[in-house]
DNA sequence: CTGTTAGCGCGTTCAT
DNA sequence: ATGAACGCGCTAACAG
């Protein structure tokens, strides 16, 4: 039998011996601290690569008698999805602690760049190793991210990326693919073709924009589908409900609705009031109590979900990896979109 | 600002002090080793619960200067899906090693209970902490699992469970839900109704059986759907291809095919030869090179995937948790079924 | 039966 | 600029 005999991993001792220096020097190089001659540093670096040395994060945290501190900065009040993100983070507090990861969560009062910047600017490297933020692409935010990085606080973006910045990693789904998938389903749901309505929060939101783009691209492959102009409900229950009721009244022959925003509660209310849940195919985003109910009673056919639990898990895993000093994460696979019907709900 | 001040976790020292004993005694109780008076053991146990003590697995492995050994026993040759399971495990070898988890993989020559039993019986606790097996429900296998458990080797079931046994955990999807989901999609794909063909490997396989059951239950909700008698292709390319070609020839008005087995290659060949990829809705199982190609060229509409990577990850996480001595894992949520269309392929 | 002690891989004073 | 020595939470070999 081919038994796999794993060779013992290299330790700091091995590196020190190979480089002909002491443990302390190796440690200084590893954590790139000052006080090492360039020549010595090179010797250590060579030993590290030739031995394939990999630091043991757990032992490192054990020695420092210190946990890894992660702070999530998540908007509140605006979006139901943000609540589920925060909940997912909360749920992990306990289990993360066992792995020496301390999770702190700050809900920002508004979807306000100022509040985010203020919270970010306060974070110091001795109390926060990594800030995981969901932020909008505004100059003040970008500046704050740069500043945090310079101070020694890693920044990671969640849900919505800040491409030009010094964020070390991005966790989120591919929203264009989400829109494409929705269209691909809708096209198959309506083999006879038909009018399809699009309900968004706002076209100014990056993710909504991407979803719309993806949906339109694939919908074009189904000549029978006639896309109506997108409605903007600003993710407000009342407004979305009114909009959808008006929509249903105007188009008695509507074939489907793609709700690419977060106003699912309002949409559902409208659908139920007008009792048009049979002949109409409805695709919405984000699993929530509301959308679960919609799936259960048949008013929603499919829910595309961003998988907040998976995103939080991926974020924590990334923090651990990046804490070792890796420049960037190469395995930057985006989070997978989850697809739910009534029949595969947890 | 509500700063979360986490109290320091309790350590073995704290437990020893609280129980009025020494570290060694605490350790003996924790690893339930012999040589401790019941009275003393109780005092320690009380201290553990009252302090909410949780062992640090990493520190434990560090002290033992020993990695956690996990062995996967996976059938070979029969099923393409098993290959992807083994691949998923292989891909994790390196990253797991950093977390002190040594992965070993044994491919069993046949889907043969005897081979599984032989491999399992050899495993000793000093070389294998946990065996993760995908096995059939046969008396010899069950006996072997009991024996392994008695020896001190944990057993975990993967993909296919052994309900009555002493396996500590099961990792797999809900196949009834998978079948239901397929029917739910098919029903929506065929609003006019139509004939639906079912292609299975064998009705003797637990998972195929469950999928069929789920599919039938939900398909009954769509009165227009007419289910043909299931075909058994025994997951063989040739046989499945012949079966499907015959099927297509006989039913020129076929509306859809649900391939609930693993013979996707044969199915695809038949579809391409008969060039019937337009009006026909096809739902298959397991993402593979073959099914990916089918999605890409439109011959397959939807692939339901068991998520082998996720299953391996869940298995490794479970091993870590169970290694601390927890009796059973309470969070026994099944693995989620992944749903792929052409537009959300990684 | 129970306690003492050394050491796992690493970080961190404090000397040198 | 560099090294020796101690401690983090836990296990194990050896005393008592």
Statement to judge: residues B192 and B211 lie in one domain? yes
- B343 and A54 within 8 Å at the Cβ level: the answer is no
Q: What is the CATH number of the domain that holds B265?
A: 3.40.50.2300
Burial class (CB in 10 A: 0-12, 13-18, 19+), A29: buried
Cβ distance A324 to B324 under 8 Å?
A: no
Statement to judge: residues A107 and A159 lie in one domain? yes
Q: Is residue B342 part of a domain?
A: no
Q: Is residue A1 part of a domain?
A: no
Q: Is residue B346 part of a domain?
A: no
CA distance A152 to A144: 12
Q: Is residue B337 part of a domain?
A: no
**For position A7, what pLDDT does the model report?**
61
Statement to judge: residues B285 and B182 lie in one domain? yes
Q: Is residue B298 part of a domain?
A: yes
Statement to judge: residues B183 and B281 lie in one domain? yes
Q: Is residue B60 part of a domain?
A: no
Cβ distance A21 to A47 under 8 Å?
A: no
Average pLDDT (A320-341) is: 85
**For position A282, what pLDDT does the model report?**
97
Statement to judge: residues A181 and A272 lie in one domain? yes
Domain total of chain A: 3
Q: What is the CATH number of the domain that holds A41?
A: 1.10.260.40
Statement to judge: residues A77 and A166 lie in one domain? yes
Statement to judge: residues A137 and A150 lie in one domain? yes
* Predicted confidence (pLDDT) per residue in A239-279, tens digit: 999 999 999 999 999 999 999 988 789 999 999 888 666 68
CB distance from B65 to chain A under 8 Å?
no
Q: Is the CB of A323 under 7 A from strand C?
A: no
Q: Is B90 helix (H, G, I), strand (E, B) or coil?
A: helix
- A180 and B344 within 8 Å at the Cβ level: the answer is yes
Tokens encoding B104: 């070993």
Chain centroid, CA A182 distance in Å:
19
How many Å does it take to go from CA B99 to C1' D14?
A: 31
Residue numbers in A near B337 (CB within 8 A): 344
From the list A143, A119, A93, A85, the residue with the least C-alpha distance to A310 is A85
Statement to judge: residues A301 and A312 lie in one domain? no
Q: How confident is the model at residue A5 (pLDDT cuts 50, 70, 90)?
A: very low
Statement to judge: residues B189 and B299 lie in one domain? yes
**For position A65, what pLDDT does the model report?**
87
Q: Is residue B345 part of a domain?
A: no
* Predicted confidence (pLDDT) per residue in B53-110, tens digit: 999 999 999 999 889 999 999 998 767 889 999 999 999 999 999 999 999 999 998 6
Residue A171 has pLDDT above 80, yes or no: yes
Statement to judge: residues B190 and B131 lie in one domain? no
Statement to judge: residues A235 and A184 lie in one domain? yes
Residue of A nearest to B301 (CA): A188
Burial class (CB in 10 A: 0-12, 13-18, 19+), B228: middle
**For position A298, what pLDDT does the model report?**
93
* DSSP for A282-299, written as a single string: EEEES--HHHHHHHHHTS
Per-residue pLDDT of chain B (346 residues; tens, 9 = 90+): 434 446 678 999 999 999 999 999 999 999 888 888 999 999 999 999 999 999 999 999 999 988 999 999 999 876 788 999 999 999 999 999 999 999 999 999 866 889 999 999 999 998 999 999 998 888 999 999 999 999 999 999 999 889 889 999 999 999 999 999 999 999 999 999 999 999 998 887 788 999 999 999 999 999 999 999 999 988 888 999 999 999 999 999 999 999 998 889 999 999 988 876 568 999 999 999 999 999 999 999 999 999 999 999 999 999 999 998 777 787 767 899 999 999 999 7
Residue of A nearest to B302 (CA): A185
Residue A6 has pLDDT above 70, yes or no: no
Residue A290: which domain range?
A: 175-305
**For position A36, what pLDDT does the model report?**
84
Statement to judge: residues B320 and B295 lie in one domain? no
Q: Is residue A282 part of a domain?
A: yes
Residue A293 has pLDDT above 90, yes or no: yes
Q: What is the mean pLDDT of chain A?
A: 91
Average pLDDT (A139-168) is: 94
Average pLDDT (A307-314) is: 96
């Amino acid at each position: 039998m081919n038994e796999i005999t794993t060779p013992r991993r290299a330790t700091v001792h091995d590196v020190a011996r190979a480089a002909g220096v002491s443990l302390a020097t190796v440690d200084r190089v590893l954590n790139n601290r000052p006080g090492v001659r360039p020549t010595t540093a090179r010797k250590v670096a060579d030993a590290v690569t030739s031995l394939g040395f990999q630091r043991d994060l757990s032992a490192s945290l054990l020695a420092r008698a210190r946990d890894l501190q992660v702070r999530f900065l998540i908007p509140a009040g605006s979006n139901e999805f943000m609540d589920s993100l925060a909940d997912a983070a909360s749920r992990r507090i306990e289990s993360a602690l066992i792995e020496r990861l301390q999770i702190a969560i700050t809900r920002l009062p508004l979807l306000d760049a100022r509040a985010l910047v203020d919270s970010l600017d306060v974070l110091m490297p001795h109390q926060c190793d990594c800030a995981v933020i969901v932020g909008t692409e505004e100059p003040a935010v970008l500046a704050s991210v740069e500043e945090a990085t310079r101070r020694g606080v890693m920044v990671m973006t969640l849900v919505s990326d800040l491409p030009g910045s010094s964020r070390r990693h991005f966790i989120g789904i591919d929203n264009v693919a989400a829109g494409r998938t929705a269209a691909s389903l809708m096209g198959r749901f309506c083999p006879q073709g038909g009018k399809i309505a699009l309900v968004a929060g706002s076209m100014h939101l990056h993710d909504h924009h991407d979803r719309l783009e993806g949906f339109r691209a694939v919908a074009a492959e189904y000549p029978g589908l006639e896309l109506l102009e997108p409605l903007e409900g600003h993710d407000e229950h009342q407004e979305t409900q009114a909009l959808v009721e008006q929509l249903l009244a105007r188009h008695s022959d509507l074939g489907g609705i793609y709700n690419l925003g977060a106003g699912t509660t309002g949409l559902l209310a409208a659908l139920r009031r007008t009792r048009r849940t049979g002949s109409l195919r409805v695709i919405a985003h984000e699993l929530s109590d509301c959308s679960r109910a919609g799936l259960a009673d048949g008013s929603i056919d499919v829910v595309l979900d961003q998988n907040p639990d998976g995103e939080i898990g991926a974020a924590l895993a990334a923090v651990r990896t990046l804490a070792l000093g890796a420049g960037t994460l190469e395995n930057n696979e985006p989070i997978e979109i989850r697809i739910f019907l009534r029949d595969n709900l947890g």
